[in-house]
Structure 1
Amino acid sequence: MIGTLRVWAGALCAGVVMLVGCSDKAPEQVLYFYNWSEYMPQSVLDDFRKETGIRVVYTTYDSNEAMYARLRLLDSSNAYDLAVPSTYYVSKMRAEGLLQPIDRSRLTHFEQLDPHLVDQAYDPGSQYSVPYLWGTTGMAVNTAVIDAGSVDGWADLWRPELKGRVLLTNDVREVFHLGLRVLGYSGNSTDEAEIAAAYQKLKTLLPSVRAFNSDAPRMPFLEGEADIGVIWNGELVMAQEDMPALQYLYPKEGAVVWVDSFVIPKNARNADAAHQFIDFALRPEIAARISEEIGYATPNLVARDLLPDAVRNNPASYPTDADLEQAEFQTDVGEALLVYERYWELLKAGK
């Protein structure tokens, strides 16, 4: 009986070994990446998978508000591993405990980043964010229809002959920035009276507004629906490939300057893969490819030197000091954001 048991046990062990041998392939690693629309070349995601074996599940949003609201709702069973909030939302999410620290020892190219874009007030010590791309929000002008010399600032959007031809982004802070700056206030105002005044000013612009678009702001210009309006510099650079007459303007009242950064949500399922992807994207040759294809400026100084002269010297992507003289970085406005959002909803509702 004992011998029979030994034979049965040996056969069972052999079967277990066979089963293990048949399934010794490690489970596929997945990185859940939440990013802006059209903000990462597919070729970069493909090359990352080829090198690491990590598959990227890529989901997009069209505003910081949408990104923030979704990340707050998710738990560790369905969380994202990587996201790309803009400047002031890094500060907000950090303060609310929605982010985990980034292990800089795992980022071999961090020291190549422009020192002007790290260790900023929105993330002192760059503990929770790593710059991905930076840029500006300014004006697009279709010079085939509008004399470029006749336009120099946000206030021109109110010209009566432009009724129905103006594009705004679907972004509360950017739209209120232009309203505030036209009135002589800071785009980072926390004064409710100033925000209310900007709302009243923006209400008078509504008859001229063709659309609010943050999915692909260049498309209303390419489709002939808009001739002037608010746009991100990289979107304009992409649009110029098909529409050379579209020009980028730094408004005299001041453009918006922002940095979009990689962050790892606190409840990320695969923080290890997130670190690997950040380090991959920071490689000079990868960062240069992203900048050239997407149209926004790379924060990697070594990568800039790899760019073609036509890209590196394009003021739409890489502004001069004079271009940014009146520009403002977006900052966290704290509880005043609720005031902005209240007036934003009224504005969008046409009230």
Structure 2
Amino acid sequence: MTDLFKPNRRHLLTLAAGAAAAPFAPAILRAQEASGRVVMSTWGGDYAKLLTQNIEDPLLKPKGLEVVQDAGTEPTRVAKSIAQRRLPRGSVDVICVQAPAAYDLEDAGMLEPLDEGKVPNLKYVQPTFATPYSIPHIYSPQVIAYSPERVKTPPKSYTEMEAYGGKVGILDNSYIWVAMAAALKQQGDPGKIAEVKASMEKLVKAGAKIYTSTEAFAPGIKSGEIDVGLVWHARVLFWNKGGVEMTSSFPAEGCMTYVSSMCVLKNAPNKAAAFAYINAALDPRAQRGFADSMGYQPTITNAALEGEVAKRLAMPEGTKLLPAPYPQLSAVRDDMNDWWRRTLERR
């Protein structure tokens, strides 16, 4: 695997422009001291259900921790956290976001620093994924998913997928990943997403289907509304288990690596419980559970997969996994978000 970018401290990004982070006393609480309630800001759907199945019920409830899920789209949940950033105590303890958004929140000074004293299982995180402000919960390569029934010659690049026009599916909440794939193929640099606006506008105008939830992608393939689309390989495996006929094609130019992160907000009302939650997310039982049930790869060194699960999640030899270029994304994110909304409104 190609080493992923390891972020350092950066300039405040525009999502929090003008917002001075309120001072907070350093946390001295540890995961082992957890009690009470922990509020988890997360996506809904399958992911939320599997948090309950693999982390909350087996690992936290026996310790007396009550978990409350605050489910919603990532932009809505991030906006809520930003709105509460000056409060001494916010309403959320742990927030689940894609890794680029975690980078943004750290840039805005909103995240609690993490270490092995607070989160003991951090010592097992693969160095490739380690950051001082979040835990990498799970990861998966972005692939071209397609219907093997209707697509006889699998697309091997973004350009070949793009040729399917109105039979392409795009996840609205992950459009930035589609832009990175386009930039990787067309510009040779996944960070040059502003340069592929015209290409993506052409795809939208050709009738590409935009799905507001990840869960809607599989029915689109199954019904024949779409034939291809970019999505995480884990999702293809997960939907296969659910009976949807779908196959992954790994782009020859390389696969962008999706990482789902968990972060503790600086004004979390129960930091000890928050540390306990993310520590449990790095437990080998939880990591293997997500691998088996949802197809995501573990991010820790002590959760090697075996047997049928290892075989099912194995990637083709020579697969190139590429990191999301966090600094470049942050620099243009607001402009890209505005452009994407306008593009969809003009359809």
**TM-score range for the pair, normalised by the shorter chain length:** 0.7 to 0.9
1:62 and 1:209 map into 2 onto residues whose CA distance is: 22
Matched, 1:346 2:342: yes
Contact 1:154/1:251, CA 8 A, preserved across alignment: yes
- 8 A Cα contact 2:144 2:161, kept in partner: no
Aligned to 2:202: 204
- Structure 2 equivalent of residue 129 of structure 1: 134
What is the count of residue pairs matched by the alignment? 303
Query: 1:293, CA displacement in angstroms?
Result: 1.3
Change (3 A) 1:219 1:273: farther
Distance 1:240 1:82 in 2: 30
Aligned to 1:289: 289
- Please state how far the C-alpha of 1:150 moved relative to its aligned partner: 4.2
Q: CA deviation at 1:346?
A: 2.2
Aligned-partner Cα distance in 2 for 1:223–1:79: 40
Closer, same or farther in 2 for the Cα pair 1:117/1:67, shift >3 Å? Answer: same
Aligned 1:307-346 pairs, distance under 5 A: 307-314=305-312, 317-319=313-315, 322-324=318-320, 327-333=322-328, 334-346=330-342
> Percent of aligned positions with the same letter in both sequences?
16
- Tell whether 2:42 aligns with 1:35: yes
TM-score of the superposed pair, with normalisation by structure 2: 0.79
Q: CA deviation at 1:187?
A: 1.8
Task: Specify the alignment match of 1:280 in structure 2.
Answer: 280
Aligned to 1:267: 267
SS in 1 for 2:61: helix
Q: 1:198-219, CA deviations, whole angstroms, 9 ceiling, x for partnerless residues?
A: 1111121122312234432333
Judge conservation of contact 1:256–1:330 (CA < 8 Å) in 2: no
Q: Does 1:218 align with 2:214?
A: no
User: Is it true that 1:152 corresponds to 2:156 in the alignment?
Assistant: yes
Q: Which residue of 2 aligns with 1:231?
A: 231
| Pairing 1:142–2:147 present | yes
Structure 1 residue runs of 4 or more that deviate by more than 4 Å after TM superposition: none
1:115 partnered with 2:127:
yes
Classify 1:237/1:204 alpha carbon distance in 2 versus 1 (closer, same or farther; 3 Å).
same
Structure (1 or 2) with the larger CA radius of gyration: 1
Note the alpha carbon deviations across 1:221-246, whole angstroms, 9 max, x for none: 23443221111122111111134631
Task: Output the CA distance in 2 between the equivalents of 1:53 and 1:133.
Answer: 25
Distance 1:31 1:231, change over 3 A: same
Change in 2 beyond 3 A, CA 1:239/1:139: same
Per the alignment, residue 112 of structure 2 pairs with 100
User: How far apart, CA to CA, are the structure 2 residues paired with 1:58 and 1:227?
Assistant: 34
SS at structure 1 position matched to 2:103: helix
